[in-house]
Amino acid sequence: MYVLGIETSCDETSAAIVKDGSRVFSNVVSSSIKFHKKYGGIIPEIASRMQLETIVQVADSAVEESGIKLKDIGLVSVTSSPGLPGSLLVGISFAKAAAFSLSLPLLAVDHIHAHIYASALDRKPIQLPFIALVVSGGHTSLFFVKAFDDIRPLGATQDDACGEAFDKVAKILGLGYPGGPVIEQLAKKGDPKKIKFRCSGTDGLLDFSFSGIKTAVLYYVKAHKALSRQDVSDVAASFQEAVTETLIEKALLACRIKKAARLVIGGGVAANGYLREKFFKAARSRKVSLHFPSGQLCMDNAAMVAGLGFQLFKKGHRSALDF
Ligand code: KG4
Ligand code: ZN
């Protein structure tokens, strides 16, 4: 079955065609990031207006690039939450109209669950159950995935999301938006052991907190007024090191608690090469099999929404046009 996926939860407008929940035939992503850069973060009204302008074209391109015909599509799957309300509304309205006009079934999909599913695209299925860690600009959560319609939360951030912390630290260091990729690049030239940053503790063993470390970076920068380029790289590397260590520690702890032998990671921060390398080393030593999506599938995209939609459809799930 060919599934048309639609994703508009943040600033991206994305449409994809995925066959049988795994083979990606097309995955078109249009980002409005350049319109937000000067504000240092996403402006919801700008994002949703750009999505309204581009959604039809993006969906057309996805169908065209896939090489299939509209009549070959068997299902429309769309991100329904969480996300920016105005942005979600654009994708949902488009998906409903497409499903209605093509007389197709419709499926509403959770955006965070779709990030977990990204690792299952264009490769062999991952054996269930597994632990999933989603690290994005809006979320940092651990889950026990028994099935794709039985995803149980184990822990989550108590304040900032992990990607949000990368973005805010980049802003403090005057590096622009989005912060993750810039911090990763600068950190390559820095010493990760130079400054002892730590993520704050949480009451729940599997919860996270990133607001304290962000403030620690702010105080460090204020206390050391004239930071050289090398100092900035050291701050970036030391921050990235502390965050990576916390993510690894908690994700592997979750595996131990739930006696899970597999760990799946998704979300924008999972594109970070340093984090991926350290995760692989740690997982190998604990004999946990680790799965990351390809770099592009870590970011918001509609292929993960189409893929998860197919799995839920197979299990009998449907959404009404008035969801
Ligand atoms: O999953 P995503 O595209 O959107 C949300 O659902 O939030 O994640 C975007 C987040 C941003 O905070 C961005 O700074 C972060 O992912 N990010 C990274 C990297 N690339 C993107 N963080 C660390 N290292 C990266 N290479
Ligand atoms: Zn996302």
CA of 105 to the centre of ligand 2 (A): 24
pLDDT of 33 higher than 90:
no
Kind of pairing between the strands at 262-266 and 130-135: parallel
- Per-residue pLDDT averaged across 296-317, rounded? 98
Spatial distance between the Cα atoms of 185 and 76, rounded to a whole number of angstroms: 38
**Closest residue by CA, ligand 1 atom 14:** 180
Instruction: Give yes or no for residue 135 having a pLDDT over 90.
Output: yes
- Span 101-123, mean pLDDT? 97
- pLDDT for the residue numbered 100: 98
State the average pLDDT for the chain.
97
Relative to the CA of 139, which ligand 1 atom is closest? 7
Residue 172: name the closest of 210, 215, 211 by CA.
215
Query: Relative to the CA of 299, which ligand 1 atom is closest?
Result: 3
Q: What are phi and psi of 109, to 5 degrees?
A: -125, 140
Phi, psi at 208, each rounded to 5°: -130, 160
Helices (H) and strands (E) in the chain, counts: 11, 10
- Ligand 1 atom 3: residue of nearest CA: 299
Question: Per-residue pLDDT for 10 more than 90?
Answer: yes
Ligand lying nearest the CA atom of residue 138:
1
DSSP 46-83: HHHHHHHHHHHHHHHHHHHHHT--GGGEEEEEEEEESS
Distance CA 186, CA 297 (A): 23
Q: What is the pLDDT of residue 109?
A: 98
In ligand 1, the atom with minimum distance to the C-alpha of 298 is 1
Got the DSSP string for 153-204?
A: EEEEBSSS-HHHHHHHHHHHTT--SSHHHHHHHHHTTS-TTSS---PPP-SS
Residue 248 · residue 256 · CB < 8 Å:
no
Q: Provide the pLDDT for residue 128.
A: 97
Q: What is the pLDDT of residues 189-214, one digit of tens each?
A: 999 999 999 999 999 999 999 999 99
Which one of 8, 166, 247, 272 would you pick to mutate in the ligand 1 pocket, going by the greatest count of ligand atoms within 8 A of its CB?
A: 166
As residues whose CB is below 5 A from the ion ligand 2, the structure lists 136, 300
CA of 295 to the centre of ligand 1 (A): 11
pLDDT confidence bin for 38, thresholds 50/70/90: confident
Cβ distance 86 to 10 under 8 Å? no
- Sheet with 73-81, edge to edge strand ranges: 23-31, 12-19, 2-7, 73-81, 106-110
What distance in angstroms lies between residue 97's CA and the mean position of ligand 1's atoms? 30
Cα 313 from chain centroid (whole Å): 22
Query: Per residue in 253-294, pLDDT tens?
Result: 999 999 999 999 999 999 999 999 999 999 999 999 999 999
Which atom number of ligand 1 is nearest to the Cα of residue 240?
A: 23
Q: 225 CA to middle of ligand 2, Å?
A: 35
Name the residue of 8, 141, 210, 299 to mutate for ligand 1: max ligand atoms within 8 A of Cβ: 299
Q: What separation in angstroms does the CA of 203 have from each of 146, 156, 256? A: 25, 11, 18
